[in-house]
Structure 1
Amino acid sequence: MMTTVKDVAKKANVSPSTVSRVINDHPSISSETKQRVRKIMDAMGYYPNITARNLGTQRANSLGVILPPLDSRERLGNPLYLELLNAVNETAAEFQVTTAVASADNSQTLLENVTRMHRQKQVDGFILAYSEKDDPVVDYLYHHQVPFTLIGRPAKRETDIVYVDNDNQLLGKQATEHLLAKGHKNILFVSNVNQEVIFFERYFGYQEAMMLQGLPTHPPLTMLQPEDYTQFPELIKETGATALVVIDDIFALRMIQLATLHGYKVPDGLSVISFNNSIFATLVHPYLTTIDIDISDLGRLSTQKLMEQINHQQSSGVQLVVPHHLIQRETVRTI
């Protein structure tokens, strides 16, 4: 025999209307009561009729996760997004909602996908897994007043957009300071993106650390085209660089391959530090010295903040900074 709302209410010693409000995540019910009733629902094997619930509340009871344009092999294979999706899924399940993913290989198609999901009411709001300059997706969500949380600092409208982030300028500064503390004085900042907000922030952090020590800063070494890679050995010779601050772990591995190809052994000839502490950091030797940004926490908090907006519990313009920590491994040597 199927378990009903009345059965759950009787077991939880509450009214059927209270169980219905728990199902609909109504703000009038305390979080303690919601947790207790949901545990009883799980134990009794009760699953609400989502279709009926959605018709009653005019909600999709689903969140959209927008991945950045997957326009490179590095982005396509980045485990960061899988970790993020896992954290979002787990947190969404606590709110009794599902998740859907919007992805594409260019920003125009991505915008079309997001527009369709919004207009067809497939989701109640979005988590944007990246932050870029002049992003048409952010502009669309903002102008259509769609609830969304941004992972990363917004390029504009900082006081109006709800976002969660690490302090990426501090990350860039601390990565560079780690190299400076190991005796490196000629350091380059290397990236395969140049429009993402994290690129600007981490590069500014690099500049700050170098300038505070009275050392020269170099323009960022951005590897966007195949010809950029061919200039690498000349740039290392010209600058006399002994260390690289690299935008993330996957690209750091690519840079280690490139350095090895041109006769620079890591860390003996060239030290490397990167960010994210992804699974790739310890897949091959030398293990990467990297900064852990706690991507699971970013996913969890971004989901919570989106649900608060959907439930009209949170004003706009909230910033949450997620802590980070440096993990020393094998790619930085002391001079």
Structure 2
Amino acid sequence: MAVTIKDVAKRANVATSTVSRVIQDSPKISEATKARVRKEMKALGYEPNYSAQSLANRVTQSIGIIMPESDVAIFQNPFFPESLRGISEWVNEHNYTLSIITGKTSDELLSRVKLMTRTGRVDGYIVLYSKQEDSVVEYLHKEKIPYTVIGKPQQFVSETTHVDNDNYQAAKDVVSYLTGLNHQHIAYVGGDHERIVNIERHRGYQDALREASLPLPDEYVVREPFDLEDMRTLLQVSPPPTAMIVNDDLIAMAVQKMLSQLGVSMPEQLSMVSFNNLMLAELMSPSLTSVDIDIFTLGYQAAKNLIEKIENPKELTKHIIVPHRIVERKSCQALPSPEE
């Protein structure tokens, strides 16, 4: 007759649930108990049926990573592999696996999340973005499925565990950094206004300029998608900007190329600060001053808090802010002070 989990529990003098947790290598079981149970498993020749364990406990030891709806371009943004590296660090330490969920549209993304949920392939989800009126977050919240968000959700914010930077304050800090270099005419090149991160950074930029009593003409703000003519128009505003805040290092690389085509040199004619501090910021010429948002930690904390929620449904909702810092490089130059 085949050896069962009950036989192991009886030999080890523990509950069957304890044996299940030892098989899953749960951190809630002491190493001494794990050693005793494994010794009896070996003595009885018991081989765990991991598929049966998952079905019996409704645990797959897998989490779903929900990417933003997009085409192939999203996978070329280094933010996502770096956040996945942080997620993987915690997941691997706790013997979970990852499933990536993608879709070209919001409807397609939601459909695939529903399929993953219906077929019981994952225990919970990390939403790797935040935007307004998100049908995916609405579905996860309504169905009481464990999830965390990287970013600041606009729906159910008080009830949703999320990990984010203070993007509003980060943008204000960048304005303060540039005004400290005597820049008074500061432009902003931003991403789309669906993503909360873009909204928060733009709002911080605006408020910082108002608080410093600096000009904020509409012409100083350029939104995606933009082209060479848009950049030319920006530089022809009177007075022209002496500094520029760019919402993302990848966008900054495109902007730098356009500036070069227009014969504008950095930082001699225009200083630039960006966000994310990707590796390419250091490789650009001149190297790019950028706000380090600690992408790895965003992913690590998102995975940590999701798995804690999966393993303990009574875990409290958490709002975690990961610190940022400005990494100075060579893309900014001080101007003479107005008194000089």
Fold shared, TM-score > 0.5 on shorter chain: yes
Structure-2 separation of matches of 1:334 and 1:139: 47
Match of 2:319 in 1: 319
Letter in structure 2 aligned against 1:162: T
Deviation at 1:319, TM superposition (A): 0.3
Identity of aligned residues (%): 32
Cα 1:296/1:5, change in 2 over 3 Å: farther
Task: Give the TM-score of the pair, scaled to structure 1.
Answer: 0.86
What SS does structure 1 have at the residue aligned with 2:81? helix
Whether 2:120 is the aligned partner of 1:148: answer: no
Cα 1:23/1:323, change in 2 over 3 Å: farther
Gaps of 5+ in 1: none
Contact 1:161/1:316 (8 A) holds in 2: no
Deviation at 1:316, TM superposition (A): 5.2
If you compute each CA radius of gyration, which structure gives the higher value, 1 or 2?
2
Contact 1:5/1:16 (8 A) holds in 2: no
Cα 1:169/1:314, change in 2 over 3 Å: farther
Cα 1:113/1:313, change in 2 over 3 Å: closer
Structure-2 separation of matches of 1:87 and 1:178: 29
Contact 1:194/1:222 (8 A) holds in 2: no
Contact 2:164/2:322 (8 A) holds in 1: yes
Letter in structure 2 aligned against 1:224: E
Match of 1:80 in 2: 79
Contact 1:70/1:76 (8 A) holds in 2: no
What SS does structure 2 have at the residue aligned with 1:244? strand
Letter in structure 1 aligned against 2:266: V
Structure-1 separation of matches of 2:33 and 2:174: 45
Contact 2:191/2:198 (8 A) holds in 1: no
Gaps of 5+ in 2: 336-340
Deviation at 1:334, TM superposition (A): 0.8
Structure-2 separation of matches of 1:288 and 1:35: 52
Task: Give the TM-score of the pair, scaled to structure 2.
Answer: 0.85
What SS does structure 2 have at the residue aligned with 1:159? helix
Deviation at 1:107, TM superposition (A): 2.0
RMSD of aligned Cα (Å): 2.9
Structure-1 separation of matches of 2:323 and 2:32: 28
How many residues were matched structurally? 319
Structure-2 separation of matches of 1:258 and 1:303: 38
Match of 1:120 in 2: 119
Structure-2 separation of matches of 1:47 and 1:238: 73
Deviations 1:148-184 (A, max 9, x none): 1001111232111111111111111111111111111
Match of 2:173 in 1: 174
What SS does structure 1 have at the residue aligned with 2:188? strand
Match of 1:233 in 2: 232
What SS does structure 2 have at the residue aligned with 1:190? strand
Structure-2 separation of matches of 1:187 and 1:47: 66
Whether 2:87 is the aligned partner of 1:93: answer: no
